[in-house]
Amino acid sequence: MNSSMPSIEEVSKFHGHICPGLALGYRAAGVALEWLKHHRAEDEEIIAIVENRACGIDALQYMLGTTAGKGNFFISDYGKHVYTIANRATGKALRIVVKPKGRWAKEGESREDTLKRLLEMPAEELFETREVEIELPGKAEVLQSVVCEDCGEAAMETKIRHYHARRLCIPCFEAESGLEA
């Protein structure tokens, strides 16, 4: 591992605990950082598209600087331990896939032993990686807010729905119309 990489203990402070799932994300983020030549996103120049909602995605957010709030972290929840990292400047993307054989605890293996194995095994045994072509998601938009005429809460103008000549946020629109926005 590169000395500029945070420790798993440091990453666990963001996540809340150390577990095998966090270790998978930690290792995947390490592979991504190598590919990115240790460049961490300051804004939206690096994006992450993750295919699960498991513990490991916290490591990618923390280590790569990709976050939902910044608009460069996207979840497509397919239940797969797959992470696609892209560089907007180069247009290149790396798909990191956890190999099923390396991920699962071996029969009789303790949680601690699984964690140790995941942190120490060679990356090429744990992951399949390949450069892929993807359509890069658009950058985050900063738009005007509009006040919902039902609940009185402000919502981004692109999330307002017009119903019976009223401007409604999505939850109020769905409740009032019975339709899905």
Architecture of domain 8-132: 2-Layer Sandwich (3.30)
Of the candidate CATH numbers 1.10.10, 3.30.60, 1.10.760, 3.40.1350, the domain formed by 145-177 belongs to: 3.30.60
Residue 89 has pLDDT above 50, yes or no: yes
Residue 2 has pLDDT above 60, yes or no: no
Please name the residues in contact with 48: beta carbons below 8 A apart, sequence gap of 6 or more. Answer: 32, 60, 61, 64, 66, 72, 73, 74, 83, 84, 85, 86
CATH 3.30.1330.130 in the chain is located at 8-132
Q: What is the pLDDT of residues 161-175, one digit of tens each?
A: 999 999 999 999 999
Buried b (16+ CB within 10 A) or exposed e, 94-107: bbbbbeeebbeeee
pTM tops 0.75: yes
CATH 3.30.60 in the chain is located at 145-177
